[in-house]
Amino acid sequence: MTRQAISTSQAPAAIGPYSQAMATDNLLFVSGQLPIDPATGKMVAGTIAEQTRQVLKNAAAVAKEAGTSLDRALKTTIFLTDLGNFQEVNAAYGEHFPAPPPARSTIQVAALPLGSPIEIEFIIAR
């Protein structure tokens, strides 16, 4: 098994000792993405739907750097600080995945890095 770190300036830099993503021969594991604009390094303002779209944009940039795309996502895990946002997140998330969408878990957590209301991690086929 090969192991390759993936990094792109088109997604936010890691805020700790981890890689944006790690690739194996045929799988890409994308670290949890926050709604950070990589151009400014700041959390995007706006609705939870707009923040969800930024998370997906960041993940798409990492996937592209690895030679794949979100269309090949197999599994995602969504972390929310408020499950009351589920419907709005679900609608924005659904805009980005062709049928059939990837398997998914959604979990409410007490807090996320940088005070973010959402984080999504991805497993994507290469």
The domain over range 4-125 is classified in CATH as 3.30.160.20: no
Residue 99 is predicted with a pLDDT of 87
pLDDT along the chain (126 residues), means of 10: 95 94 97 97 96 98 98 97 98 91 98 97 98
Confidence (pTM): 0.96
| Helix, strand, coil percentages, rounded to 5, for the chain | 30, 30, 40
Residue 3 is predicted with a pLDDT of 95
Residue 40 is predicted with a pLDDT of 95
Decide if 12 contacts 58 (C-beta within 8 A).
yes
Among candidate residues 61, 44, 62, the one with its CA nearest the CA of residue 116: 44
3-state secondary structure of 20: coil
Question: For residue 120, what are the β-bridge partners?
Answer: 33, 78
Separation of alpha carbons 61 and 57, rounded Å: 6
Residue 98 is predicted with a pLDDT of 75
